[in-house]
């Protein structure tokens, strides 16, 4: 059983590390997608030798990775490969704009009185998995009980996840974990709890109860919802303000979204940025909402396009990164009332206060929603950014605001939302929340 589940874990982790979906791996390996799914869920005891070799070649495995993969396919448990399978890859240790997050998370999980678990929450493409991966690698030496990782699938069950955790720590079943981890604290990395929230929550709750020295670091578009969990919102990278004049690249470098774009652009283009590309660069990273995934994909086009040409592709239907789809994935986890509130808040173009949000969201009959809870929820999901000390100010990232405005139009609410916003009148004297 350990061997079978171990191969499922190895296959899934290698596939995700290669950035492939199950369908893409099946096409690349010239096997059926159902075979890939059954192998990853442990429904097939062991793959045929030919199937294992096709998968190995499709994943581009070499050296010890290749040997361990084929050995696990033959039913031999490779302990070193399964203790911390995700730690065997080299993490992206130079995450631009995430230094403070990494330092604080490492400090929290290094402390004896730190959280039992934390979920890095945010929209798709914001870099939750990369951030958590770096943190987990940095923490490896702090956990003598080991560090293991599992990836939640869209149809994962609690039992399957528990089996993957057991294999990740090198034991036959979840029942063996309390004894196996009795020697010291252990850390569990759980990627994508939102893909199967009920199963992930059930598995985590049971593990935390039975294994007192286990802590978890998870990622998802929403929290795992288990006792003792702390939510760590992962916000998009900071972008230059819209009205900021910039004559040199150096003036834009303090903004991490620009730094990430230029770092990725440097991998495909050797020439320096031309002066006429500076203004389009600032506009482009704003248009991409500061989302690392979108920025990286856009920068890859710099091999054959100028920055102005890349920006032009994002101005219409030619978007190479479907930002509305990215935001929609998180939008769908909101309750209908929360979705409507987000559509109304999209009328604010610049920063706004809690009081302005309360005034805007007041209904005609005076029934006011719990705005503090709503704002906290949107921040936790990465749909809203917050800044300031004492006087908190909120802002929707451009990609979120554009999506919510489009949804308001689709729901036939846009005209009424704008009228509601206009009725705030003198409250906007400071210039906050103005919509063009």
The segments of the chain whose pLDDT lies below 50 read 1-5, 76-83, 315-321, 364-365, 427, 429-431, 433-436
15, exposed or middle or buried, with CB in 10 Å at 0-12, 13-18, 19+? buried
In terms of phi and psi (left: phi > 0; alpha: psi -120 to 50; beta: otherwise), the region of 322 is beta
Position 91 scores a pLDDT of 59
Residues contacting 126, CB < 8 A, separation 6+? 234, 235, 236, 291, 292, 293, 382
pTM for this prediction: 0.63
> Does residue 84 sit in helix, strand or coil?
coil
How many CA atoms lie within 13 Å of 365's alpha carbon, on the beta-carbon side? Answer: 1
User: Is the dihedral angle over the CA atoms 352, 355, 359, 363 positive or is it negative?
Assistant: positive
CA distance 12 to 22: 9
Return d(Cα 224, Cα 91) in angstroms, integer. Answer: 24
Residue 343: its pLDDT value, please?
A: 92
**What pLDDT is recorded for position 75?**
61
Q: What one-character-per-residue DSSP string does 119-182 give?
A: EEE--TTS-HHHHHHHHHHHHGGG-TT-EEEEE--TT--HHHHHHHHHHHTT-SSGGGHHHHTT
Please tell me the distance from the alpha carbon of residue 392 to that of residue 353, in angstroms, as a whole number. 6
Return the CATH number of 88-233, one of 3.90.1150.10, 3.10.50.30, 3.40.50.300, 3.40.50.1100.
3.40.50.300
How many angstroms from the chain centroid is the CA of residue 145? 27
Measured in whole angstroms, how far is the alpha carbon of residue 414 from the centre of its chain? 30
Q: Which fold has domain 327-428?
A: Arc Repressor Mutant, subunit A (1.10.10)
Total length of the chain: 436
Any idea where the domains of the chain sit in the sequence? 2-83, 88-233, 249-321, 327-428
Contacts of 230 (CB under 8 A, 6+ apart): 108, 115, 117, 118, 119
For residue 274 the two structure tokens come to 């031309």
Q: Are strands 186-191 and 147-151 parallel, antiparallel or unpaired?
A: parallel
pLDDT for res 304: 79
Query: How far is 356 from 375, CA to CA, in rounded Å?
Result: 12
Could you tell me which CATH number the domain at 2-83 has?
1.10.260.40
Beta strand ranges found along 61-111 (DSSP E): none
């Amino acid at each position: 059983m350990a061997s079978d589940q171990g191969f499922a874990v190895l296959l899934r982790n290698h596939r995700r590390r290669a950035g492939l979906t199950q369908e893409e791996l099946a096409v690349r390996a010239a096997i059926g997608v159902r075979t890939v799914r059954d192998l990853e869920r442990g429904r097939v005891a062991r793959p045929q030798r030919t199937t294992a070799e096709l998968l190995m070649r499709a994943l581009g495995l070499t050296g010890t990775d290749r040997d361990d993969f084929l050995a696990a396919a033959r039913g031999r448990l490779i302990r070193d490969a399964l203790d911390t399978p995700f730690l065997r890859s080299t993490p992206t240790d130079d995450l631009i704009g995430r230094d403070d997050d990494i330092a604080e998370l490492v400090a929290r999980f290094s402390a004896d009185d730190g959280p039992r678990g934390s979920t890095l929450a945010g929209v798709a493409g914001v870099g939750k998995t990369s951030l958590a991966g770096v943190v987990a690698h940095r923490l490896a030496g702090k956990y003598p009980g080991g560090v293991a990782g599992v990836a939640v699938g869209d149809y994962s069950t609690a039992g399957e996840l528990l089996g993957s955790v057991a294999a990740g720590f090198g034991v036959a079943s979840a029942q063996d974990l309390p004894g196996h981890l009795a020697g010291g604290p252990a850390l569990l990395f759980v990627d994508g709890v939102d893909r199967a929230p009920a199963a992930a929550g059930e598995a985590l709750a049971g593990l935390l109860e039975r294994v007192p020295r286990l802590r978890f670091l998870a990622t998802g578009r929403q929290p795992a919802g288990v006792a003792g969990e702390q939510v760590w919102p992962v916000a998009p990278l900071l972008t230059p303000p819209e009205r900021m004049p910039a004559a040199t690249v150096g003036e834009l470098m303090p903004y991490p979204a620009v730094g990430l774009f230029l770092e990725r652009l440097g991998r495909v283009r050797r020439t320096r940025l031309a002066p006429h590309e500076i203004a389009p660069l600032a506009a482009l990273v704003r248009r991409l909402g500061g989302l690392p995934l979108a920025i990286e994909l856009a920068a890859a086009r710099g091999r054959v396009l100028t920055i102005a040409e890349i920006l032009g592709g994002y101005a219409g239907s030619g978007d190479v990164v479907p930002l509305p789809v990215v935001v929609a994935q998180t939008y769908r986890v909101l309750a209908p009332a929360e979705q409507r509130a987000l559509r109304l808040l999209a009328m604010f173009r610049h920063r706004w206060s809690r009081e302005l949000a309360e005034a805007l969201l007041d209904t005609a009959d005076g029934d006011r929603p719990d705005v503090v809870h709503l704002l906290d929820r949107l921040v936790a999901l990465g749909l809203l950014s917050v800044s300031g000390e004492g006087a908190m100010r909120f802002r929707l990232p451009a990609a979120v605001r554009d999506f919510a405005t489009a949804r308001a139009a689709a729901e036939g609410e846009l005209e009424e939302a704008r009228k509601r916003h206009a009725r705030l009148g003198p409250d906007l004297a400071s210039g906050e929340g103005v919509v063009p």
